[in-house]
Each structure stands twice: as structure tokens, then as C-alpha cells.
Amino acid sequence: MSTRDQIVEAADGLFYEQGFAHTSFADVAGAVGISRGNFYYHFRTKDEILDAVIARRVEATRAMLARWEEESGDPAGRIRCFIRILVANGGKIAAFGCPVGSLTAELAKLGHAAQAEAGQIFTLFRDWLRAQFEALGFAAEADGLAMYLLSRSQGAAVLGSAFRDEAYLRREADDLCAWLDAKLSPTRKD
């Protein structure tokens, strides 16, 4: 892996676990094992690293969504893939929150220009979830259902990390799966 990629990867993790503002060049350089001077050969400013990290996350999100498309044939199964992140990444979410939500929240406070780009990741999930609900026959309702799932996940991530309660995240994931089943069941239309 190129040094540049190593830097972006390390910065990605540190921005998630420590926050953008609180992560210094020295932190990233130390994590990669290079000097601060070398660092500036690859990135001239902290904002450039942030842009690269966001681009990396956008790509990773696209790849994950594409993987879910392949793994699961039916839209309901794909939506369950989304819900399961809360469990699969439960440990990290309980410790550091949702990477997308916490970064956009931080950039919003900093008034940072990249906030819009970071928010694009939410749009990626939103559009993908909406497409799945549309495929399930929820035409006009689809975007609202996508936002509902996004909102519930974000709420779960915030409270899960506030109370440092991974079991709560599992319960919320179960509850969301039950909600989805009820939505799909013809005998129970809410």
C-alpha cells in the first residue's frame, strides 16, 4: 500500500476515534510511522487530508452498498444488511458513535466547507434505502421510510455511545427488523 493510502487510512481511523479537530498531524504521522516532514509531501493542509478521508469513506460506502446488492437478492434482506451494521460495528459505535453522524456533526459546528461532502454519505444511504423500499412497493412512502431508518440508526448510535451500551444497540437492531417485518406483513399495515 502506498504511503499516501496509509496516511488516509490512519487519518480515517483517528478522525473517527478522536475527532477531526482533536487529531494532529503528529498523531497521524505517528500512526503511520513517518515523520511530520514527510507528511507534507503528501498533504499540504489538514483540510486536504479531510477531503481524502471523506472521499475514501464515500468509496467504501458505495462498495458496501454494492456488496449488499450482491449478497442479498431481495430488497428486504438488503435493508436488514443496513440494520445489522448496528450489531456488526456495535463495539465501535458504543465507543465512538456513528462515523458518518459524528463527523458531519463536528464539521457542522466548525462551519467547515467539507460538511456538505460528508453529508453526501447520508444521501448515499438514503437513496439506496429508498430504492429498496420502492422495490418493495412503497412508492410515495419510500423516502420517508428511508429517512425513518436512517434516523432510528442515528438515534441508536448516539444513545448507544452516550450510555456505552452495546446491548442496547442489539435491541434496537432487533426492534428495527421487527418494524420492517411488520411493514412487509400484509396483515399489519401501519
Partner DNA sequence: GTCTATACCATGATAGAC
Partner DNA sequence: GTCTATCATGGTATAGAC
φ, ψ of residue 136 to 5 degrees: the values are: -85, 0
Q: Give least dist CB 11 to DNA, A.
A: 11
Nearer to a copy of itself, 34 or 105 (CB): 105
**Can you say whether the dihedral through the CA atoms of 36, 101, 99, 130 is positive or negative?**
negative
Q: Using CB under 8 A, which of the segments 11-19, 39-47, 55-63, 78-86 binds a copy of itself?
A: 11-19
Q: Using CB under 8 A, which of the segments 18-26, 64-72, 73-81, 129-137 binds a copy of itself?
A: 18-26
Nearer to a copy of itself, 64 or 105 (CB): 105
The residue from 3, 6, 13, 19 that contacts a copy of itself (CB under 8 A) is: 19
Contact between 18 and a copy of itself (CB under 8 A)?
yes
Q: Give least dist CB 157 to DNA, A.
A: 26
Q: Give least dist CB 45 to DNA, A.
A: 4
Q: Give least dist CB 125 to a copy of itself, A.
A: 11
132 binds, among a copy of itself, DNA, none (CB under 5 to 8 A by kind): none
Distance between CA atoms of 110 and 174, rounded to whole angstroms? 35
* Residues 102-121 contacting a copy of itself, CB under 8 A: 102, 104-106, 108-110, 119
